[in-house]
Structure 1
Amino acid sequence: MQNTQPGYAARFVAPGYATSLPVPFVRASLGARAVAYLLDILFIFGFTVLLTLLITVVGVVTFGLGWTLFAILPASGIIYSAITVGGPRQSTIGQRLMGLRVVAPESGGRVDIITAAVHALLFYVAISTFLLWCVDIAFGLVRSDRRLAHDLLLGVAVVHAP
């Protein structure tokens, strides 16, 4: 039931999942995750600028009605993460550059777009509150698989991409 190799976290086999493909969890370092986040800030900024331009054009074409879409701009980081992590590559652009991907621990498969969006939302809530951020990081420091608290809440893992 558990893989005991050093550097690997416990692997759980759940009924209904393919057991022929092992899901090794090579620790995703907290440093790589932090750098990926800093890179993603740049990409989210670019995504927000692109979204702003698109909404502006839609607003002009619809005589101002489309400008109500500006209400989604504060959620651009969550939208970005939902599209990229919930997509076929299973990672944001920053995570790809750092060689990371987000998986479901039971199967090693993709996470759905809703889980990816909630994962981003919990991350942004944690990082915006110092105490929650410290608790989140503490989970990653004490666990051998380096999963943070918001990873555990949603049942996802950030691992090195093969």
Structure 2
Amino acid sequence: MLDNPTGYSDRLGTPGYGLPTRLPYVRASLGARFVAYLLDILFIFGFTALLTVAITLIGVITFGLGWTLFAVLPASGILYSAITVGGAGQATWGMRMMGLRVVTPETGTRVDVITAGVHALLFYVAISTFLLWFVDMLFGFMRSDRRLGHDLLLGLAVVRAP
């Protein structure tokens, strides 16, 4: 293992099996993150439309009782991000298209669903007002690793996917 220049583990049961033992920290550009966000808006719109149709059908079948699920629709963007970022792909569909993923910067491990949901919630809170969005983006422009304010609060990083 010491003579292995690739940094890949070659045994089951060792930390980082199949992954580099040291995270090749390659920062993601803010431009790629912005394009991924624009793509994700389209995916969230489609996800919300599917939820709307499903809830409508459930409401008809349950004689209106299922329509209480419409309260979930405002959180559809957070649900989308929590499921996709917290899943095996470590990225939303827009991030995957741009070659990005979300990791913990120290270890490069996957983010759990709750942390991914809180990350999305903080992002949507930040873009809801100009001042919070400006401060969030200022962190990204000032730091060499291009981590935004909500990334720093949760100890996450968006990196290029290998």
- TM-score, scaled relative to structure 2: 0.88
1:88-127 correspondence runs (5 A):
88-127=88-127
Which residue of structure 2 aligns with residue 14 of structure 1? none
Aligned-pair CA distance for 1:107: 1.3
The Cα of 1:106 is off from its aligned counterpart by 1.9
RMSD, aligned α-carbons: 1.3
Residues 1:31 and 2:22 are matched in the alignment: no
Deviation per CA, 1:125-160: give whole Å up to 9, x if none.
000110010000000011111000000000110000
TM-score by length of 1: 0.88
In 2, distance between residues paired with 1:92 and 1:103? 13
Mapped to 2, the partners of 1:84 and 1:104 lie a distance apart of: 16
Structure 1 segments of 4+ aligned residues over 4 angstroms from their partners: none
Amino acid at match of 2:73: L
Query: Aligned partners of 1:40 and 1:80: how far apart in 2?
Result: 9
Question: 2: distance between equivalents of 1:137 and 1:75?
Answer: 23
Match of 2:6 in 1: none
Instruction: Please list every run of 5 or more consecutive structure 2 residues that lacks an aligned counterpart in the other structure.
Output: 1-14
Q: Which has the higher contact order (CA 8 A, sep 6+)?
A: 1
**In the alignment, does 2:160 pair up with 1:160?**
yes
Structure 1: runs of 5 or more not aligned: 1-17
Cα distance in 2 for residues equivalent to 1:143 and 1:133: 16
Higher radius of gyration, 1 or 2: 2
Report the identity percentage.
76
Partner residue in 2 for 1:71: 71
